[in-house]
Structure 1
Amino acid sequence: MDLAGTGAIGAVSLRAFNIAGALPGHSDPDETRLIPRMMAVQRGTAPELVVNGNGDAIRDFVHIADMAEAFALALEACEPRTARAYNIGSGRPTRVRDVIAMVEQVTGRPVARRHVPPAAEPQELLADSKAIQADLGWNPHRSGLREIINDAWSAATGQ
């Protein structure tokens, strides 16, 4: 960002929240993340989901396709002598227990899980994406929870 101030380059920084979902043939293999872990549990390749606390933590999930669109728009808008930073998220508060419930609906079976004491983490993490919406016209068209989970499940099962 500092170099952009010299006029030599432009810079755009995107701060992504929880990127999730999948594209045909491209699932997310990182089982340290909530949704890929649940996909592994539902496929039978992981024994259980460990939930911190009671599942009330609120997170913001953005579909990978919406994130890709944000990157494309940011690249198009990047001009010398400019530096911008944007949050990228759906802005929709989603509790971990809501994600579990949606996975159960989409897959048709309960998610094996174990609750542990709450971790030292923020109760709520939400993106404010108003700046990229106003400046670049970006909107999270595919970031509804059902679509994220449907796409993740389809990619995880090869359907």
Structure 2
Amino acid sequence: MRKDWLVFVAGHRGLAGSALCRALTGAGYERQLTRTHAELDLCDQAEVRAFFARHRPDVVILAAARVGGIHANATYPAEFIYQNLQIQNNVIDSAWRNGCKKLLFLGSSCIYPKLCPQPIKEEYLLTGALEPTNEAYALAKISGIKMCQAYRQQYGLDAISAMPTNLYGPNDNYHPQNSHVLPAFIRRFHEAKESGAESVTIWGTGKALREFLHVDDMAEACVFLLENYSDFEHVNVGSGVEHTIMDIARMVARVVGFAGEICTDTSRSDGTPRKLMDSGKLFGMGWKPRIALEQGLRDTYRAFLQSCPRS
């Protein structure tokens, strides 16, 4: 991938997209093209086709998506499947129609079956039933992978797909209902500390296992793949380390400075019981993550304090 190529980052304001812009700049890719949702509605086929015809980017990174945690996925399944399919269809097709030289589609580890063998290898895709609470989002992302493969097979588009594990870091969404588990914990433990609360209750048993990757590590992995990978199969992007949800809660409490009790609400779903990615394929290419979880949480909490979100 040439340093002078024009790179369009779709979704540049989000957690993943903003990190990708930082990683591209750090790697010497200064010609970056971005648009806010107000400037370009990626769900609008006519707008997207006109945009690509006008700018003809050499590289496209598709990080734009409708995202959220368990509550958001369960509450808005129609929006999650419709909007994500629209975004993917419009961007991938327009990239091909306008001479894109390289495309990276960013997916999610939720594409894999709920009761998948662990750690999860790329070939386990479509071998079992999905987790019901995020099925709509997962189906959209699976369709994105298959679309990239179809356009590679039929048209020769150099489209690759990266499937990151659970991400966290600066510029995350701290919405009290619709955020993912780590930013939700950061906000809830911070507010509990500020209010002097004696306890914080987390959803589920606390026994579910999760893997987390700092978003800057994910972004650097994506730039690495753009520069070094061109093949049909999607690639897992993870840290290779897992923790129980209770351990994560205790770690966040320690970073935030909350000293109260952590309780569990077992009437709430744990979601997928375990979800550890096998990132051996990526590690074998020569890339490894560099940010340890507690270090990353401290950096993320500092960024949270600067943003001071409110209900």
TM-score normalised per structure 2: 0.44
Q: CA 1:111–1:134 in 2, change beyond 3 Å: closer, same or farther?
A: farther
Shift of 1:7: 5.8
Q: 1:44 aligns to what?
A: 191
**How many aligned residue pairs are there?**
150
- Structure exhibiting the larger radius of gyration computed from Cα positions: 2
Q: Map 1:5-154; keep pairs closer than 5 Å.
A: 5-6=153-154, 8-22=156-170, 27-31=171-175, 32-44=179-191, 50-53=202-205, 55-79=206-230, 82-110=231-259, 114-117=263-266, 119=269, 121-135=271-285, 137-142=286-291, 144-154=292-302
Q: 1:22-78 CA deviation, whole Å, 9 max, x = no partner? A: 2xxxx312442111112212332899553212x111001011011101111122235
Which 4+ stretches in 1 moved above 4 angstroms?
A: 45-49, 111-114
Aligned residues: CA RMSD: 2.5
Contact 1:102/1:145 (8 A) holds in 2: no
The SS at the match of 2:264 is: strand
Q: CA 1:8–1:111 in 2, change beyond 3 Å: closer, same or farther?
A: farther
Q: 1:93-132 CA deviation, whole Å, 9 max, x = no partner? A: 1111111111122122136755222516321100110101
Q: Which runs of 5+ in 1 are unaligned?
A: none
Q: More helix per residue: 1 or 2?
A: 2
Q: Which runs of 5+ in 2 are unaligned?
A: 1-148
Give the share of equivalent positions with the same residue, in percent.
24
Contact 2:162/2:234 (8 A) holds in 1: yes
TM-score normalised per structure 1: 0.81
Which gives a bigger RCO, structure 1 or 2 (Cα 8 Å, sep 6+)? 1
Q: Which amino acid aligns with 1:141?
A: R
Structure 1 CA distance, aligned partners of 2:270 and 2:245? 15
